[in-house]
Every structure is written in C-alpha cells, then in structure tokens.
C-alpha cells in the first residue's frame, strides 16, 4: 500500500482537500477532533493518506511539528503532498524547501491560484515545477473536477525525489534568500487597485468599534437559530412523535409480553434513549453553525478578538479554539489544548475547558428550561453558557497567580481568507459529529438505561418496588450531599452519579427513574430555585469519565485529581448560592 502524508501551512486548505480526496477511516478522537493531531483516509483501498494540522516549519520544537517528524521518521512514506497557498507563496515555500531535504518525493498542490491572480499575482507553475523538481497541480475552488485530477495524479503518476537545492540553504536566512530568487523567476506581481473581498469584510469585522458588537451579534444569532428558530421547534416535533406515537405503539405491541420485559424495553431502554434523542435536532443545528463559522474563516478572527480579553485571565487567543471545541465535546478540546506551546497556558486551559457547555449537557439544559422557564429559554441557556465562561475566566486568573511562569505571549496566526463554505462538506462535518452523538445514544445511553432499570427494580431479594432497589439505596446514601442545594432526593442524586459516564446520561437516567414523559413529572420534583441550582451543578461539576481519562493521559494524575475535586467543590458552592438566591427571588424565602 502506498503511504502519503498531507501537510501545509495553517489555513491553506489541506483539510478541505483531504476530506474531498480520501475516504476517512477515523478521526483522532471524538466529535470535533479532526484537526487536532492527524487524520487517516484511503483512496481506493490502495493509497493511505495521513493528514496533519498546519505547520510553518519542521525544525522547531512545537508539538505539532514533533508529531509530523516522529511520523516521518517512524514510517516509510512514499509521497508528501504539500499544499501551498498561492496567495502567500513566498512564505509557504519555506516549508516546501524543508520538505525537499527529507529525500521523499513531493507533490505540490498550489491552492487558491485564482485568488492570487485576482490580487495581481501571476505564477508560472511550469517554471516553478522545473526549479523545485516536483510535480505541481494548481487548484482554484477545489471542484470535483480538480479533485478527480489530483486523485488520478496520486494514483497513476510516478514520483521521484526532488532534485537537491542548488544553493547552500542551511539556515532560515539562506532559505528565504533562495526563495526570493525563485519568486523573481516564477512570479509576476501586477499592481491592482481593487481591495480584496476579505479586506473589505475585515474593515467591518475587525473594526475597533464594530468588532465586538458584531461578535456578540453572531453569538446571539446562533442562540436564536439553535434554541428558538430551528433546533428547539424540530426537537418538539421529535418529542411529540416519540411520546404520542412511537411509545404508545410499543406499549400496544408488547401488551401480551411479560410485565418485566415490557417494563425493561419501554420504561428502561425506550424512556432512557428517547429522553436524550429528542434533542438531536438542537445538537445538529449547533454543530452546523459552529462548522459554518470555522469553514468561513471567521473563527480565527474570533480568536484574534478574544486574545486581549483572555490575556487578562492568564491565557491567550491560543486557548480560545480549544475552548470553542469544548462547546462540542471536552475530549477533543483537551487534546487540542495539549498543543499549546506555553506550559502554564496549556495547564490552565485544560483545567477550565470542562466549564464549557458541551453538547452532552444540552439535553439537560433543554429539558429543564422548557419545563420551568417557558418563553425565557434563551435567557436561562445564555446564563448557563455565560456562567461557564465566567467560571473559566475566574479560575484562569486564579491559576495564573498560582502557576507563575512566562509573561503573556500574544496570539499570532495567519488569518485565512473568507470563503463561501462548501455545503456538501458542511453537511458531512455536521453528520460526522451527529453520528458521534448517535453512537453515544446507541452505546452509553443504551447500556446505562438497562443498568439503571435493573438496579432500580431489583435488590438482593429479587424484583422490588423502586424505593427499595439497589439504586435507591445508593441514592439515599449520597443524597445528603445535595440536600442543601435543593435537589437532594435519591433519584436526582443517582442521575448525577450516572452523569459521570456522560452528561447526556443524566436525562436518560431521569427518564428511566421518573418514567418516560419527563415534562409532566419533573415539575413535581423541583421548584424554580432547585431547577436552576441543578442546572448550575450539571454545568460545573466533575467532567465525564472520557474527559477524566483524557486529562490523565495527556496531563498526568496530579492534574486529573485537581480537576476532579476543585470542579466538584466549585459546583457545590455555586449551586448552593444560586439555590438560596433563587429561593429569595422566586419565593421570598
């Protein structure tokens, strides 16, 4: 099998090219993780392509460069596919020059050639190919025709090691001097008075007066689309279908079966899964909108805008992207955080990522906000997200004082050009992330629903009333911890315990313990203050088992124990305050 690597500078389009040419075998981890370390894919089961995140060189000590170098040194790579941005050819060729020294055949993909020409830069691809001694394929919009041409080239062409560089290029200065000579031979710059579309947009998006209002407006629009206009209405249709048609149909279908078997399927499996599944439209809508921001080029600008604000709490804009990934899932966010160069910032980011409202918490948020705060869902959901962000900033500042190390390092990254996202790729990314959520429902939620049903219906004497079951005994043992927070009955306590497997399991557990139609049952178990306290606790308490395992793997046991205990203690204190403030505000007590 032919082994190829795909590499380029950040934001040159290698991710899009990889997604279009390769059948993806696996992502490095959970949903949203595709850009953290590397991806693997195949072309016709004969060619394996390993795609790496963008890097600027291969001779520094950065983690991403080490990952690439370790792979090159540990595997027999047949071809390096080097994606180069024609708009920044001179800077991109620095990496190409270094790759040439690896004595591995190179295929250069010269991307965004049309935009380079629109900006007045004309490149002689044949001459560049002759100088580099490498085949060059130019691409414009990464169309299906261009993708087919690239795939055929990879499959059919025979590549040889690039000819050696004629000049002595042993350091950065010499390499750039040689690149300058190349540019003089292959590139012609014609002055164009027209301002590019990206520059026009950035005059507003990065304007010192408009940038933050625009950022806030975009976040607000996302909230409206997810929780008011698209996600929530679709979830209500989903809920209505499940509880008005599917579950009654199953009850009728199983009416002649033994009571315990019917209860296991309907009260256990179906109730547990449906309590989470109804929120799939909300989660898919959120994933689609976040992918839209990333693919369009706005996400990098958001990180740039947040850099100065985040510096006040001891981190930089480099931490912004892992935190944004944390709104999808903490596991890939933690993996992204380990690539931050500054050790102090890396540790701080890992410790505060679990405060982000990951998609697993959304089913619990939506369940309680629609029941207790109808018409004010966006306000309460906004409170959840803002509280998590404020907690992250607060503890970042505290850890900044504890972990004294280097001074603030400003966030620096090349801002990509704005592009119209490819609808096909956008839908593919959304579906891939949605599949991750469905996989959790089909594995973790399914398993936990069965386990919860068994433990809530049996004890050592056999099948018993739920209040005398194994689960009730465990719940009653730990419930005193939560009594001061307003939700200390054993069912709620157990749901938080099972929630350590995954926060979406909380809704599934409540569905099993209280019966399927939670909107009609939950109001009898909580009041407004205790519901708000419960939401805050779910937001802030100890992260799920997958996140804990990831923290242990990437950052060590000491940091894992710190994360577990400080987040539980913080969640308890903040929930206690919210409950008692809520009792005074809502009931005057």
Label the pairing between strands 187-189 and 121-123: antiparallel
CATH of the domain at 177: 3.40.50.300
Distance in angstroms (rounded) separating the CA atoms of residues 327 and 335:
14
**111 annotated ligand binder:** yes
Encode the chain (589 residues) as per-residue pLDDT tens digits: 899 999 999 989 888 899 889 887 654 444 444 455 788 999 988 899 999 999 999 987 778 898 999 999 999 999 999 999 998 999 999 999 999 989 999 999 999 998 888 888 899 999 999 999 999 999 987 888 899 999 999 988 778 776 665 545 667 888 899 999 999 999 988 766 556 788 899 999 999 999 999 999 999 999 999 998 999 899 999 889 988 899 899 989 998 888 899 999 998 999 899 889 999 999 999 999 988 998 899 998 999 899 888 888 888 888 998 999 899 889 889 988 888 888 889 999 999 999 999 999 999 999 999 999 998 989 999 999 999 999 999 999 999 888 876 566 677 777 888 888 888 888 888 888 888 888 888 888 999 999 999 999 999 999 999 999 999 999 999 999 999 999 989 999 999 999 999 999 999 999 999 976 788 899 999 999 999 999 999 999 999 999 999 899 888 999 999 999 999 999 999 999 999 999 999 888 6
∠ CA 49-51-55, rounded to 5°: 145
Chain centre to alpha carbon of residue 380? 23
**Residue 114 assigned as binding residue:** yes
Rounded CA gap, 132 and 108, in Å?
Answer: 9
Q: What pTM, to 2 d.p., does this model score?
A: 0.84
Would you say 112 is a known binding-site residue?
yes
The answer to whether residue 199 sits within a structural domain is no
Domain assignment present for residue 304? The answer is yes
* 32 and 137 together in one domain: yes
Is residue 207 included in any domain, yes or no? no
Same domain, 162 and 284: no
- Which pLDDT tens digit goes with each residue over 516-569? 678 889 999 999 999 999 999 999 999 999 999 989 988 899 999 999 999 999
Looking at the fold, whether 182 and 240 belong to one and the same domain comes out as no
Number of domains present in the structure of the chain: 2
Residue 97 and residue 38 in one domain: yes
8 Å CB contact between 340 and 322: yes
C-alpha distances (whole Å) from 89 to each of 172, 176, 181, 475, 530 are 16, 12, 13, 63, 59
Note down the domain range covering 578: 214-587
Whole-number Å distance between alpha carbons of 416 and 394: 31
């Amino acid at each position: 099998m032919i082994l190829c690597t795909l590499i380029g500078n950040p934001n040159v389009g290698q991710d899009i090219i990889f997604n279009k040419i390769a059948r993806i075998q696996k992502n490095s981890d959970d949903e949203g993780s595709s850009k953290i370390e590397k991806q693997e894919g195949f072309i016709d089961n004969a060619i394996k392509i390993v795609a790496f995140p963008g890097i600027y060189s291969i001779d520094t000590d950065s983690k991403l460069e080490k990952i690439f170098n370790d792979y090159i040194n540990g595997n027999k790579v047949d071809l390096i596919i080097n994606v180069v941005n024609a708009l920044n050819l001179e800077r991109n060729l620095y990496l190409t020059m270094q790759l040439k020294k690896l004595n591995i055949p190179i295929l250069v993909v010269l991307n965004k050639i049309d935009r380079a020409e629109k900006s007045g830069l004309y490149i002689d691809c044949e001459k560049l190919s002759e100088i580099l001694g490498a085949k060059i394929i130019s691409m414009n919009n990464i169309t299906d025709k261009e993708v087919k041409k690239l795939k055929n080239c990879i499959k059919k062409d025979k590549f040889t090691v690039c000819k050696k560089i004629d000049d002595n290029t042993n350091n950065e200065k010499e390499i750039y001097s040689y690149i300058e000579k190349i540019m003089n031979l292959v590139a012609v710059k014609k002055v164009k008075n027209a301002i590019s579309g990206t520059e026009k947009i950035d005059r507003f998006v990065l304007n010192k007066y408009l940038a933050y209002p625009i950022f806030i407006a975009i976040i607000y629009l996302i909230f409206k689309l997810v929780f008011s206009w698209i996600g929530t209405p679709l979830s209500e249709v989903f809920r209505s279908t499940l509880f008005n048609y599917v579950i009654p149909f199953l009850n009728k279908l199983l009416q002649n079966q033994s009571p315990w078997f019917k209860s296991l399927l309907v009260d256990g499996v179906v109730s547990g899964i449906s309590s989470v599944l109804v929120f799939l439209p909300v989660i898919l809508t959120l994933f689609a909108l976040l992918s839209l921001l990333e693919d369009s080029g706005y996400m990098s600008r958001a990180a740039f805008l947040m850099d100065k604000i985040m510096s006040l709490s001891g981190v930089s804009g480099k931490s912004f992207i892992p935190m944004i990934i944390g709104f999808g899932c903490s596991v890939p966010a933690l993996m992204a955080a380990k690539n931050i160069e500054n050790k102090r910032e890396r540790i701080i980011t890992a410790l505060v990522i679990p405060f982000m409202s990951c998609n697993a918490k959304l089913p619990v948020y939506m369940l309680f906000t629609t029941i207790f705060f109808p018409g004010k869902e966006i306000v309460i959901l906004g409170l959840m997200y803002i509280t998590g962000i404020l907690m992250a900033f607060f503890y970042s500042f505290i850890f900044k004082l504890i972990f004294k190390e280097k001074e603030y390092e400003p966030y620096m990254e090349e801002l990509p050009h704005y592009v119209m996202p490819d609808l096909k790729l956008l839908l593919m990314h959304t579906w891939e992330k949605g599949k991750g959520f469905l996989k959790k429902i089909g594995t973790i939620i399914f398993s936990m629903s069965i386990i919860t049903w068994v433990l809530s219906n049996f004890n050592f004497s056999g099948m018993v009333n739920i209040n005398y079951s194994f689960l009730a005994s465990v719940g009653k043992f730990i419930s005193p911890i939560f009594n001061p927070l307003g939700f200390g009955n054993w069912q709620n306590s157990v749901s938080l315990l099972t929630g350590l497997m995954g926060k979406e399991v909380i809704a599934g557990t409540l569905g099993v313990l209280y019966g399927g139609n939670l909107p009609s049952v939950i109001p009898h178990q909580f009041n407004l203050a205790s519901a708000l306290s419960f939401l805050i606790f779910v937001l802030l308490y100890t992260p799920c088992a997958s996140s804990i395992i990831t923290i242990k793997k990437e950052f060590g046991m000491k940091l894992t124990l710190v994360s577990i205990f400080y987040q539980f203690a913080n969640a308890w204190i903040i929930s206690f305050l919210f409950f008692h403030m809520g009792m005074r505000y809502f009931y005057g007590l």
